[in-house]
Amino acid sequence: MHLLGIDALSREAIVRLLDRADTYFNAAREAKASSAPIATSRALAGRSVVNLFFEASTRTRVSFEVAAKRLGADVVNVAAQASSVSKGETLLDTVKNLAAMGTDVLVMRHPASGAPHFVAGRTPLHVVNAGDGAHEHPTQALLDALTLRRHKGRIEGLRVAICGDILHSRVARSNALLLGKMGAKVHFVAPRTLLPAAADELGAHPGDIEVFDDFDMAIRGVDAVMLLRIQNERLASLSMVPSTAEYARTFGLTAARAAALPDGVLVMHPGPINRGVELAGGVADGARSVVLEQVEAGVAVRMAVLESLFEAAA
């Protein structure tokens, strides 16, 4: 079994993963509260997980590693810059060699959209997409959904504003699909240059997404505001954002805007945050922010995902 995108997950499959992740989240919280070690299981004992990352990552890579270890798996981390890919080896040859060593799971991040899908059809390994280009980042959407559900008690009927560089964001795409499948509505807001064509069609159904030009209109009546970093490494032209200061004023969640939000509106960010650009530092650290809880949920969600790969294969 693979996890390549939210695209291929049913509503029932999403709920099953979130329910299981919630159990892991609570267990880790309880252990931390009593200063006890977080319990590890043997669910993946004897299995090995390879993290193959062709792009920078802190949260995603480390949390897949922590998750795999909590399930008793062995973990190997491969940074592509230090692998034979830099000597001209193809992606597929690299993966075939990893599989020949008897590994079981390939957690993969790649700048090309569709790279994990290409590999998944050509290897016996279970492939998990940890982010492919501007396409999908399914475990991020699942951890965002878990965070929302823990605070709001449900996902159905919620409204979530997703703000920033939607054009280059796999986080926005996976979230739009998941929220749509679960019956929530999404507001997209971005400068025109950072919005994909037909952005309103990126949901699971017609009508899931409403596109706004104006940030203040977009965050009106929402349950959560999710900010995205401008992905400078993917920008075709720097002229897409003429001035950082102007961007922060027009499309950033400033302290003043955050203060005007009604009680209970969550502030979310997948990280890495560019403080003072899309999100004011004080708001990132403030009472509404669930940014670090999203990271906490990331470990729980990745445990649930890794475990599910083997069950479905049985």
Which residues contact ligand NCD by CB under 6 A? 59-60, 131, 137, 140, 170-171, 229, 231, 270-272
Closest separation in Å from C-beta 283 to ligand NCD: 17
Closest separation in Å from C-beta 217 to ligand NCD: 24
- What tokens were used for 288? 């509404």
Nearer to ligand NCD, 41 or 232 (CB): 232
Number of neighbouring beta carbons within 10 Å of residue 130: 27
Nearer to ligand NCD, 60 or 147 (CB): 60
| Cross-sheet strand order for the sheet of 105-110 | 74-79, 48-53, 105-110, 126-132
Nearer to ligand NCD, 203 or 270 (CB): 270
Contact 37/92 with Cβ under 8 angstroms?
no
Closest separation in Å from C-beta 205 to ligand NCD: 24
Kindly tell me the sign of the dihedral angle through the C-alpha atoms of 165, 276, 223, 182: positive
CA distance 210 to 201: 9
Nearer to ligand NCD, 170 or 302 (CB): 170
Closest separation in Å from C-beta 59 to ligand NCD: 5
Nearer to ligand NCD, 47 or 137 (CB): 137
Rg (CA), the chain: 19
Residue 298, helix vs strand vs coil: helix
- Report which secondary-structure segment, H or E, holds 282: helix 281-284
66 DSSP 8-state letter: H
Nearer to ligand NCD, 135 or 181 (CB): 135
Closest separation in Å from C-beta 238 to ligand NCD: 17
Closest separation in Å from C-beta 148 to ligand NCD: 16
Q: Report CA 302 to chain centroid distance, whole Å.
A: 11
